[in-house]
Amino acid sequence: MTNILRLFKYPLQYKLNVFVGLLAMLVQTTVGFVVPLLMIDIIDVAIPSNDMTLLTRTGLLMIGVAFIGLLTGYINTYNSQKVAVYATADLRETLFAKIQRLSFRNIDDLKTSRLITTSTNDVVRMQQFFQMLLRIIVRAPLMIGIGLFMALSTSVRLSNVFLVSIPLLIISIIVIMLLAFPLFSKVQKTVDNLNKVSLETTKSPRVIKSFVTMDYENDRFTEVNESYRDINTKAERIMAAAEPIMIFIFTSTLAGILFLGAYYFNQGYLINMIDGEQLPAVGVMVAFNNYSMQILFGLLMFAMMMIFISRAIVSANRIVEVLDTEIDLTDCSDCVTEFDMKGKITFNDVTFGYGNNGNNVLHDISFTINAGETVGIIGSTGSGKSSLIQLIPRLYDPKEGTILIDDVNIKNIALDTLRSQISVVTQKATVFSGSIATNMLQGKRDASITDLKEASKKANAFEFITDYDDYFNHHVEQEGANLSGGQKQRLSLARAFIKDPKILILDDSTSAVDAKSEASILDAISNLSEQMTTLVIAQKISTIKDMDRILVLDNKGQIDGFDTHDQLLKTSEVYQEIALSQLGGDGNVKSI
């Protein structure tokens, strides 16, 4: 409950709308109890005595009161909707901003599917709660309180029916809540699993179709879908039982009122004297029945409120868990914000592994790369090449050792300052929906058309861009679905080049382009070598053999060599093995 109270700050930002909504709801609820009171005069006085003046006056008054109820109901609905929508938008924005700040390790711990469910399903649940907060949660106690007061004022004797109906209704609500609440948390977890499987399959259609694993994936999805359906059905089955129970109690209460009314009439109570004739106080019974229905309806609303609160608590706990997640990569209090990077990189005894208890993938890594050097990185699969380069822009922090740039510990440089001068192009190209220009401008927001052209030429992307009639305005679909793999990779490279980084890191990012494009890109890097330090992860020696130096990692995550191509052929066993599989014994490139 503490977490849901914490989220109250979002609707409370709209104090005026909250106040107006609550005031309108108070008036609307009160008006609902005035109409039955007027009905007593009509049924028990005006009609029996044939007093048309009283009937007309009271009828018009009822219409006026009903109109006030209509108006205040609209005002309450409008303000509650506005508060719910605006508060949820603020919450979603806060949550999204927090997710953007999470480190890779945080995301590994929380899981992507969980973050998606929290950002969508859980936030929508909170929107429903905020809306009910102003429409039902406050209304229900008012209906119960005012209803009891009006019912007792109308007839104390008929109020004896509440001695049975109210306890019965309250017990039913409590039992339903105790049975349903534990299932709500399980429902949200199964939604996480649904999102996880859906994400994995929708992102890998080529693999699934290539390996003809559609049946397997269908069975996998069916399993999690059935799990969701089973848990959700159990929860809904309990909730479904609530409606017939409530209807039974409502109907029984009405029958009880009629029974008690007849009994007290026979006992000489609930009687009106009209022209010397004793008539049953039908208006009193009608008004009392109306009040009792409002009391029971208030209790029913209270039950709905408790159900929504219990579900909202689950969602609030999950949202707050993300908001409270301690980001393990943060700026220090005295971090450098003004840092003109030159590009020298130093690793001192660096050890790194994923997870708190995971195996280390890098062990005691030490090397120095001078500013302006172009360095190739090579090694067998799983040797830790990608892990190594992720440490430089502090996407992860090492478990042991230090990483320096220009002899300054990167932990002492503000993250934005550090990352703004480093460009990383991953092996799998990442592009966003929008246009070619908007993708490139992520590297430099104020880039000119000249900058766009130069960067795209360096990445060998200008040729395919000019094939489009709208050039840089050409629309890019989600995940670059309308671009080839090579085009997406060249667009990613152009985005990196336009940034004019001091350190450029290419994680096997030329593997998706043809040999001609790769040669053109490497020539551009060579021409820019004096302006930036470049690290190129490659699988092929031919890609990196002419670079200043080459860092070789073995399959234990340790350095096997760090030298020129010619020297490594003499000193590094790992490099020799790779060379023998790709090159001739004299180090000359074979035609592949």
Is residue 366 over pLDDT 90? Answer: yes
24 touches 79 (CB < 8 A): yes
Q: Give me the phi and psi of 123, to 5 degrees please.
A: -70, -40
- The predicted pLDDT at position 19 comes to 92
Is residue 328 over pLDDT 50? Answer: yes
- The predicted pLDDT at position 357 comes to 66
Whole-number CA gyration radius for the chain: 36
- The predicted pLDDT at position 559 comes to 92
Token digits of residue 522: 């490497």
Q: Which is nearest to 569 in space by CA: 378, 382, 384, 369? A: 378
Is residue 408 over pLDDT 90? Answer: yes
Burial of 296 (0-12, 13-18, 19+ CB in 10 A): buried
Q: Which is nearest to 554 in space by CA: 541, 573, 540? A: 573
More confident residue, 308 or 163: 163
Query: How far is the C-alpha of 544 from the C-alpha of 523, rounded, in Å?
Result: 12
Highest mean pLDDT among 53-62, 188-197, 527-536: 53-62
Query: How far is the C-alpha of 14 from the C-alpha of 20, rounded, in Å?
Result: 10
- The predicted pLDDT at position 589 comes to 46
Q: Which is nearest to 123 in space by CA: 85, 152, 155? A: 85
* One-letter amino acid of 495: R
pLDDT tens sequence across 153-182: 888 888 888 888 888 878 887 887 777 777
Token digits of residue 88: 């949820």
- The predicted pLDDT at position 356 comes to 67
- The predicted pLDDT at position 20 comes to 92
Is residue 590 over pLDDT 50? Answer: no
In the numeric block, the tokens 């480190």 are attached to 103
Q: Set out the domains of the chain in order of their start, with CATH numbers.
A: 2-323 (1.20.1560.10), 343-421+533-583 (3.40.50.300)
Is residue 350 over pLDDT 90? Answer: yes
Dihedral Cα 584, 585, 587, 592, nearest 10 deg: 10
Token digits of residue 220: 């996998």
Minimum mean pLDDT among 151-165, 398-412, 434-448: which range?
A: 151-165
Task: Please provide the average confidence, as pLDDT, over all residues in the chain.
Answer: 83
Token digits of residue 491: 């667009």
Is residue 359 over pLDDT 80? Answer: no
pLDDT tens sequence across 284-299: 778 888 888 888 788 7
pTM of this structure:
0.69
Q: How far is CA 270 from CA 122, 266, 281, 283, 381, in A?
A: 53, 9, 5, 10, 91
Q: Three-class SS of residue 507? A: strand
pLDDT tens sequence across 84-104: 999 999 999 999 998 888 888
Buried b (16+ CB within 10 A) or exposed e, 110-127: beebbbbbbbebbbebbb
